[in-house]
Amino acid sequence: MDLIKSLHACFLVFLFWPGLGCVPFAQASAPVGCPPEMNSRAGDLLGDARRDWFALSKHQKIFASCDDGELGEGYSDAVANLFAERWDLFGTFVTLAKTDPAFQGWAIRHIDASASDEDLNKIVLHSNTCVDDPSLEKLCKMIRQKAADALVGSARSRQ
């Protein structure tokens, strides 16, 4: 079946992009926005970016095109760590979320089953502390739900 898909992809490439030849489908559709040296640099600098929300936001904007694979997992770890271990910085996250809704969505998407259950449980507990604040209720519920969903995903992956 994979051979058929590969041949089909080669045929489409041949039809629509003459001169390219038969390029494996994975290569034909791979993003080109993050060269290997940029991805490596992003990984090297992520350690410093994990310290607070402003640093992580800046890093994410610079290396947005590299948010995949190992770096994507690093981002997920950084987001989970900030929500779980640095809830005292939540006000900074709220400020960034209000001024940059795309960053808010990005951060919440990075709450996933790659985080430890311990961190995910802490995120659920922390986010429960702000659901009664009308100005934070929606944001806190999104964070709590994403962490709860990640816990379910984590449990399923262990079965």
Please say if the pLDDT value at position 2 is more than 50: no
In whole angstroms, what separates CA 84 from the centre of its chain? Answer: 16
**Mean predicted lDDT score pLDDT of the chain:** 84
The pLDDT tens digits for 9-37 are 333 333 333 333 333 333 322 345 899 99
Q: Are residues 23 and 68 in the same domain?
A: no
Q: Are residues 24 and 78 in the same domain?
A: no
Between 122 and 32, name the one with better pLDDT.
122
Q: Are residues 26 and 66 in the same domain?
A: no
Domain that holds residue 83: 41-158
In whole angstroms, what separates CA 2 from the centre of its chain? Answer: 29
43 and 71 Cβ atoms separated by less than 8 Å:
yes
Query: How confident is the model at residue 32, as a pLDDT?
Result: 58
Could you tell me which of 31, 74, 29 has the C-alpha nearest to residue 49?
Answer: 74
Residue 144, both tokens? 């709590």
- 31 residue type, one letter: P
The pLDDT tens digits for 51-98 are 999 999 999 999 999 999 999 999 999 999 999 999 999 999 999 999
Looking only at Cα atoms, what is the longest distance across the chain? 61
Q: Are residues 97 and 139 in the same domain?
A: yes
Region 38-49: mean pLDDT is 95
Q: CA 9, CA 113: separation in Å to the nearest integer?
A: 32
Whether 47 is covered by a domain: the verdict is yes
Q: Give the list of residues 6+ apart from residue 77 with CB closer than 8 angstroms, or none.
A: 50, 114, 115
Domain count for the chain: 2
Q: Are residues 3 and 65 in the same domain?
A: no
